[in-house]
């Protein structure tokens, strides 16, 4: 999958405005000069590298969304249609019966009429 630099820059800008209101405050939160933020990332020339991605995670940015536009912008948010896995307990299917599986005993594994009979094992 190839990342779309323009889409990443738009998502980065959207996150910055939603979380900090201005790009200047956003750049300060990233410990970055605002001009570096603009010229490198907000104009679509560069995609954030690992160090910046870690800073964004620490600020609450969902980097899956940032890079792919999937999910939601902020970590910990979920769409209304999604369910958390821990909301409902997993229940066995009603049509399945419980079966106990046991390993064969040592004497059963020595029988010569099994699959490997005559194979020299």
What pTM was estimated for this model as a whole?
0.60
At residue 23 the predicted structure's pLDDT band, cuts being 50, 70 and 90, is very high
19 burial via Cβ count (<10 Å: 0-12, 13-18, 19+): middle
Distance CA 75, CA 54 (A): 13
Count of domains forming the chain:
1
Residue 50 pLDDT class (50, 70, 90 cuts): very high
Exposure class string for 51-68: b at 16+ Cβ within 10 A, else e: ebeeebeebebbbebbbe
62 domain residue, yes or no: yes
Give a yes or no: residue 40 inside a domain. Answer: yes
Range of the domain at 20: 5-68
Residue 111 lies in a domain: no
> Which secondary-structure segment (H or E) carries 5?
helix 5-20
Note whether residue 114 is domain-resident.
no
Phi, psi of 61, rounded to the nearest 5 degrees: -80, 135
């Amino acid at each position: 999958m190839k990342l779309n630099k323009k889409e990443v820059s738009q998502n980065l800008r959207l996150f910055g405005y939603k979380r900090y209101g201005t790009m200047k405050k956003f750049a300060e939160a990233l410990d970055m000069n605002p001009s570096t933020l603009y010229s490198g990332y907000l104009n679509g020339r560069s995609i954030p590298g690992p160090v910046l991605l870690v800073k964004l995670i620490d600020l609450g940015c969902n980097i899956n969304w940032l890079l792919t536009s999937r999910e939601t912008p902020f970590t910990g948010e979920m769409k209304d249609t999604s369910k958390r896995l821990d909301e409902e307990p997993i229940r066995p299917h009603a049509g399945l019966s419980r079966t106990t599986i046991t390993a064969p005993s040592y004497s059963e594994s020595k029988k010569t009429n099994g699959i490997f009979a005559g194979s020299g094992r």
